[in-house]
Each structure stands twice: as structure tokens, then as C-alpha cells.
Chain A
Amino acid sequence: MMNKKKTILSALAAGLTLSTVLAACGGDDNESSSSNGDGGKGGDFKVAMVTDTGGVDDKSFNQSAWEGLKKFGEDNSLTENEGFKYLQSAKQADYQPNLQQLARDNFNLIYGIGFLMAEDVQKVAEQFPDSNFAIVDMVVDAPNVASITFKEQEGSFLVGVIAGLSTKTDKVGFVGGVESDLIKKFENGFKAGVMAVNPEATIDVKYAEDFNSAEKGTAIASGMYGSGSDIIYHAAGGTGVGVFTEAKNRKKNGEEVWVIGVDRDQYEEGLPEDVALTSMVKRVDTATYDVSKQAMDGKFPAGEIIEFGLKDDGVGIAETSDKHVSKEILDKVEEYRQQLVDGELTAPATDAEFEEFMKNVK
């Protein structure tokens, strides 16, 4: 038995040594190919993203970001895993190693998806000053990092307009995931939109302190609908699923309640009871596509903050909005959209800006 064990061990050891050698060769290959810059429309351009713990199939911004990269890769004849790639993070602790190994593997542009990765992107960007990074939803101040943010308050303002005009009880709700500057943008934009068209309305704001608890979403939504709100806007990721569940149950019992979805068009989440009034769409895919393109063309916005707003179609309302929202209301929405794009009106992002906004309304 001892002998057998030894054999296995030495086989393992041999495997390890071999792997080191092979990996070393692999590294050389990569370097040579990148310096040669051989063929293909995309050349040797390599782009990758690191998901946060939500994973690439989160039906939210990780997925959206990957869709953008995929489209970019296909449009430029890159092959998956070679020219464009994603790495998943199971734990918060995985962000840094994932970013580092992509940098080490000479990817030209590396995305950190989600503001939780800011610290890690900052560190790794310092360690690899020759690589380019981009972070979504957060600002990282480094010469080789592009910070991609969205004017969620603008999109939220528009769905707020819809909610304010559609409510029959003059009472609407907002369910946030975890309270933070980011989600505050959703909240304040939404509140401003409602107030702009319906100053009589009251807005019930609650935070679940959790992005992944459908039960909490159900509980909060139940409380809101129960106390008279008929429309709830959620910016709560997986917790929002619970909001949908509660709305569907109530609709089955004949109550007329609605949910406003977030990040992507959540129309299908509302089926079959059809409770999705509209959705605030945040085009992370557009962002990753555009920034990748700029990088490939040698115009990477290093060190810059790029804001995607209504103007750039970075945020907006879902295309399916016309299913439940009347023409008149949509016209009104279009009016406000134009004002926001033209800068005649500014959607508030913080509590202070909202206070200011309210003074003007009155």
C-alpha cells in the first residue's frame, strides 16, 4: 500500500511540474501572439469581465454586461474565451484574484461589474498600470480606469412620471435593495418624477437591506399594497422577485396592483398575471459595447468618468411600456424625457438634490 501511495504521490508531483512547464509555454505563446498582432478583424484585442457574486446569468446587470461584450465580440469576429471572456466570482474574496489573472493574461480591457468591486479594481489597476480597466456603477480614480456610471435618476424619473399619472389611490411605493448612494439615485429620481406630475401623491419608501431575499420583498410589498399603494417600483435585484410574487397573488384575487421593473425589461417577470406596468431599463450592454469599441479603436477613456444617461440611451423606459400605459401618459413621458435631455430639467440623485427639486415644484 505504501508503494502504491508513493506512486500516486509522485504521479501528482510529476503532474504539477509538468503543468508548470506547460503553463510557462502557454504564457510565451500568448506574448508572442500579442506582439505579432496576427490577422483577424479584431486583431489581438482581448476583453474580459469579472462578474460579481450574482453570476453571469443573474437576469440583471451582470447578464446585461455580458450580452454587450458578446455582441461586441461577434461584431468584431472575436472568439469566445479567446478574444472575449467572463470570469465568475463565487465570493467577494474572488474579485481580486479574478481581476489579477486577467491582467496577467494580457487582456487589453478588463471590466469589474458592480460597485462592490471598486476597491479591488483600484488595487489591481495600481498593480498593473499597463492594463486598462473599467468599473460599472462606481467611480474609481486611477489613470488606467474608466468609470462607467448611469444616470439612473433620469430613467427613474420617467417611470416616476408613469407611476404618478397611473396611480388611482394617489399612493405608490419604492422598494430598495440595500441603502446606498447608488440605490438612492433610483429612489430620488422616482420620487421626483411622481411629484412632478402628481404633487398630491404619497410615496412609501422601504429598503430590504438585501438584494437577494424574495421573502423580504414579498413581505414589504404586502405591507405597501395593504396600506393602499397600487404601484411599486423596485430597485432591489432578487428581492424584487418577491415584489412581483406579491403583486401576482393580489392580481389573481382581483386587486389592481402594478410593479415597475428595473435594470432590464421585466415584462415577462409579470406574466401570466401581467403585473409589470413598465420597467426602468439600464443599458449596461450598451455601455460595455461602447467602451470596448473605444478601447479597440485606441480611444479608451482612461481615467474618465463616463455617464450614460437618457441622452445616450443608457437609461430609459422599457419598449413594452405601451402595453399598459396609455398614449397620453406616454406622451407626457416623452415631454419630460425631452426636458431632461435638453437640460431644462435635472433629475435629483441625492436626498439633498431632491429637497432642492421639491422647492421648485412648489
Chain B
Amino acid sequence: MKKLSLNQLLIPLLSIILGLLVGAIVMLIGGYDPVQGFISLFEGMFGSPYAVGETLRAAAPLIFSGLAVAFAFRTGLFNIGVEGQVLIGWVAAVYVGINFDLPMFLHLPLALLAAMVAAAIWAFVPGFLKAKFYVHEVITSIMMNYIALYTTNAILRNVIGVTNERTDSVKESASLASPWLQELTTYSRLHWGVLIAVLAAIVYYYILQRTTLGYELRAVGFNKHASQYAGMSVNRNIVLSFVISGMFAGLAGAMEGLGTFGSMTLSASFTGVGFDGIAVALLGANTAIGVVLAAILFAGLNIGGLAMQLGANVPSELVKVIIAAIVIFVASGYAINYVVEKLKGNRKKGVEKK
């Protein structure tokens, strides 16, 4: 167990370093100054209260989408539909935020709840299809993304009544925005959502590690055959896992709808929040703390990438190269293991795998 956790830490850390190295090489090839590039990048990530604020702001939805992917993964499922669930959660939160008139202590929780419930219903579909008809959840959840994209657009047009690409802003009583936090971070868009996200990570840990449901879900995730033999209902767990995963995803949408933007825009393409969640969960090794840290890193890289354009004239696409490289390195843990062995100066020949 000790050994495992060391690896769990080492591989992501090395992946990050190697990913940055790849970024440096690409910068050199592209004729940019990597030193200046990285200085601007890190400066843009954490170098000022504003940078910290924007990084945390961008991290909030990623924490949720990362938790959503990780939760399903811990129970042996691939929820590739987080992207669609984010959109559904977003539109539900905005709908409640605009159309209800309630005091804040009711309105905000109601909007968040709406996001959770709507996305949970959306996630229920692939879970149900998998449990009932053995349809592979990767296929259905991917397809549900497209359905979600066009459904949200239709809802924005026909139900919320968007005439100019964007909805009205949600009422103040449903907004996560905080002038105090914004001022503190010299006008970043930091909002209270990041606290909710951290809270959600704790809930995530608690559900999996402390509850009876978590015991069951993890057992099914590790070995559904043995779980079935032991009397657990694998199908019930599949559906439940998807529903809970969807709730996390829906809150990711609420972060954008009630926090960052306070509105929703008609969109012809995906937000990327859900897909980034896959990378976040991967780098975070599906653990609560890992997901939070990975989300902050990826959010920071994205925000820092913007600063890199101005500070070092490096195109912000470079951070996509870095993120992609990190993901590849994490995914190919074997290659990292090899490097680790080399670094350890392991003299053993023919080391047994595993």
C-alpha cells in the first residue's frame, strides 16, 4: 500500500515536469524564449492576487467535472458524458436563476439543486441503458453529449427565450459572484463556487471511503463479478454511480452559470469543461485531493497561457501542448516507471513487472 501511494504521487509529478519539458522544447523549436515563456506562464498562474483568483475561478468547474469522471471511474465506469451533463446543469441553474424570485438563502441552493438534479437525470440515461440492456456506457454517454448540446440550445431559444445569443444574467439572489472576492483579487472573477468545489471534494471522499454505499460502489468498481457473488446489485450500483457522477457534473455547469458568467450563451460547440475533467481525474489518480490539485494546475496553465501571449509573445495554444503531454505521460505510466527506475539507479536486471 505504501509503495502504491508513492507511485501514485511520483508518476503525476514526473509527468508534469516532463510535460513542461516538452513545452520548453516546443517553444525552442518555435523560436520562442522558454525562460521568458515559463516566467510569464507561472506569473500568470500564481504570480499575483489576480492570477490566483482567476486560476481558482477556472479551477472550480474543473474540480467538479474531475470529480464526476473520477467518481464513475472508481466504480468501474467511464462517464465520457460529463461534458453534456455540464451543459444541462448549466442551463438548469441559469433557468432557475433567472425565472425565480426568492431570497438568496433559498434561491441559490435551489439553483444549485436544479443543476444537480437535471444533470443527474441526464446521466441516468447511459447508466440505465448499461444496467438494463448492456449498452456500453462510453458510446451512450458520448452520444448524450451531442443531444445535450442541441437540447440546451433549443431550451435557451425556446424556453428561456434568448434572442441575442446570450441569456439575461441570473438574479443577484442566485449568483455566486462576490464583489468582495473580486476586489480582493483585483477584479478576477473569483466567486464562492470554489469553496463549494472544495466541499464537494470532501463529500466525494466521504461517500467513497466512509459510507456503506461507497464500500459497495468501490467493490463493484474493482470486481463486479465478486460483488455480484457477494449479493450486491451491480445494476443498481451502475445507475447510482452515474447519477451521482452526473450531480458533480451538473454543479460544474452551475459554476459557470451562476459564477463565472452568470448567464449562458448559445453555443455551437462544447465547453471543454467535461472533457478536461477526464484529464483532471487521470492526473489526480481519481482521488479527492488529487482531483483538486490537478484541477488547479490545469486551470492555472490555461490562465497562465493567456499571460504568456502578452508577456512572452508565446501563443496560448502552447499550454494545450503541455497539458496534452502531461496527460500522455500520466496515461503511459509504464514509460514513467521506466524513468523512475533509471532515476533510482536501479541496477537490477530483468525486473519483474507489477
Q: What's the minimum C-beta distance from B180 to chain A, rounded to whole angstroms?
A: 15
Surface stretch bound by B, among A93-101, A162-170, A260-268, A341-349: A93-101
Q: How far is the CA of A90 from the CA of B270 in the complex (A)?
A: 12
- Interface residue A77 (Cβ < 8 Å from any Cβ of B): no
- Check A352 for interface membership: any CB of B closer than 8 A: no
B260→A93 contact, CB < 8 A: yes
Q: Is A249 an interface residue when CB atoms closer than 8 A count as contact? A: no
Asked whether A92 and B43 contact (CB < 8 A) given A180-B163, A180-B164, the answer is: no
A-B contact count (CB 8 A): 100
Assembly CA distance A124 to B43 (angstroms): 21
Interface pair A18/B306, CB less than 8 Å apart = no
Contact residues, B258-303 vs A (CB, 8 A): 260-261, 263, 265-266, 268-269, 271-272, 302-303
Chain B residues with Cβ under 8 A from A90's Cβ? Answer: 302, 305, 316-317, 320
Contact of B268 among A16, A100, A212 (CB under 8 A): A212
Segment of A1-9, A66-74, A295-303, A331-339 engaged in the interface with chain B? A1-9
The chain A residue with its CB closest to the CB of B307 is A101
A85 at the B interface (CB under 8 A) = yes
Q: Which of B13, B54, B315 contacts A5 (CB 8 A)?
A: B13
Question: Given A23, A101, A179, A212, which contacts B269 in the complex, CB threshold below 8 Å?
Answer: A212
Does A178 belong to the interface (CB within 8 Å)?
Answer: yes
For the complex of A and B, the 8 pairs showing the least CB-CB separation, nearest first, are A19-B39, A210-B268, A127-B187, A180-B164, A23-B43, A87-B309, A19-B43, A81-B313
Say yes or no: B13 contacts A87, CB within 8 Å.
Answer: no
Q: How large is the interface on B (under 10, 10 to 19, 20 to 34, 35 or more residues)?
A: 35 or more
Contacting pair B43 A116 (CB below 8 A): no
A contact residues around B165 at 8 Å (CB):
115-116, 178, 180
Knowing A19-B47, A23-B43, say if A96 contacts B307 (CB, 8 Å): no
B 302-334 to A, binary, CB cutoff 8 A, 1 in contact else 0:
110111011101011100100000000000000
Question: CA A20 – CA B39 in complex, angstroms?
Answer: 8
- Are A105 and B310 interface neighbours, CB within 8 A? yes
| A293 smallest CB distance to B (angstroms) | 23
Contact of A213 among B166, B263, B268 (CB under 8 A): B268
Between B40, B163, B164, B320, the greatest number of chain A beta carbons within 10 A of the residue's beta carbon is seen for B164
A289 within 8 A of partner (CB):
no
Contact (Cβ within 8 A) A18 B268: no
- Taking each of A85, A97, A182, which has the highest tally of chain B beta carbons within 10 Å of its own beta carbon? A97
Residue of chain B at shortest CB distance from A23 = B43
Structural contact, B306 and A97, CB atoms closer than 8 A: yes
Residue in chain A with minimal CB distance to B182: A127
- Nearest Cβ on chain A to B145's Cβ, whole angstroms: 16
Do residues B315 and A88 form an inter-chain contact, with CB atoms below 8 A?
yes
Q: Which of A19, A91, A180 has the most CB of B within 10 A?
A: A19
Q: Is B46 an interface residue (CB 8 A)?
A: yes
B248 interface hit (Cβ, 8 Å): no
